[in-house]
Structure 1
């Protein structure tokens, strides 16, 4: 697998990040990643088809919310926590802190 395109932090915008976090499935993915630090795509607990999950993961990656690390035939996901905290201090903590158990 080749390296996936991810925006430089200077290209990450607040509207893009907020859009990526506005979907319940994507928000659930981010919440799981926040708890686990890093997860393989296959271990995410979401109630959508694989193709739909792939599209959600693409939106998160292209918005600059997540980092995808290819490793053999697996892809490992993590939140770009340091970058997001630098660009938008407190945003991720506020969003994750507002979640209820039914949101994840």
Structure 2
């Protein structure tokens, strides 16, 4: 990985804990972001999310999700791309994401 495609800091698989994950998913905006990522086949740039918060607040929510281990962030040039750590979360907490994503809005 070079400076053009640097990964943003996030916990390793063995550092992801259920408490921070549940805290991150408890916020309606963050849950909406996770739903958008779950429904996308591709990474989503920060500006590609459909949310009703300011850019700085969106940045805060994305950082919270990344630091909890829910998503991965990747910087490419001036754009940050985000992807859901679905496989990692399913390995650690089987059924958690399926249950959360299936819950009524």
With normalisation by structure 2, the TM-score equals: 0.90
1:67 counterpart = 2:72:
yes
2:45 paired residue number: 40
1:30 paired residue number: 34
2:58 paired residue number: 53
Gaps of 5+ in 2: none
Select which of 13, 29, 50 maps to 2:17: 13
Cα RMSD (Å) of the superposition?
Answer: 1.1
Deviation, 1:20, is 0.3
* C-alpha separation in 2, matches of 1:99 and 1:60: 21
SS of 1:55's partner is helix
Larger CA deviation: 85-94 vs 32-41: 32-41
Aligned residues: 100
- The one-character-per-residue Cα deviations of 1:18-77 (angstroms, maximum 9, x if unpaired) are 000000000000000000132111010000000111000000000000001111111111
SS of 2:39's partner is helix
With normalisation by structure 1, the TM-score equals: 0.91
Gaps of 5+ in 1: none
Deviating beyond 6 angstroms after TM superposition, the runs of 4 or more aligned structure 1 residues are: none
1:88 paired residue number: 93
* C-alpha separation in 1, matches of 2:48 and 2:85: 19
